[in-house]
Amino acid sequence: MGVHVSLVHVTRTGTSARGRTLRYLESVGRSGDTFAGVCADSGLPLLSRVDPYRSLILTAADMPQFVSEIEATRARCGDAKTVALLDAVHALARRCAAQPDLEIHLDGD
């Protein structure tokens, strides 16, 4: 089971959850189960919460920890394909960190 990583712009009208409008900006291509496996094997608190069967939404407030854990995982990785995948996720996370109206959606299959 894979995890799809997307950068999403969120527009809020009012305080109700129904007032949320999502616009998908960019995604990391299908990675099969690579990203899910990296997260499961990381042993890091935030990445360990990624579930290949459910969705996890991260906001700009979560990005310092998420970026740090992606960087730590990348540093331990020796596979070029996985490093490229983590670089792509890292780029989305850095964009999300810079704008409070962006979120990272980690969607399991």
pLDDT of residue 66: 98
pLDDT of residue 23: 96
> Tens digits of per-residue pLDDT, 3-51?
999 999 999 887 776 788 999 999 996 666 789 999 999 999 999 999 9
Tell me the CB-side half-sphere exposure of residue 11, using CA atoms within 13 A: 6
Exposed/middle/buried for 9, CB within 10 Å: 0-12, 13-18, 19+? middle
pLDDT of residue 19: 80
Backbone angles phi, psi at 38, to 5 degrees: -60, -45
Q: Return the CATH number of the domain spanning residue range 3-108.
A: 3.30.70
Residue pair 55/107 in contact (Cβ under 8 Å)? The answer is: yes
| Domain boundary assignment for the chain | 3-108
Question: What is the C-alpha to C-alpha distance for residues 89 and 26, in angstroms, rounded to an integer?
Answer: 10
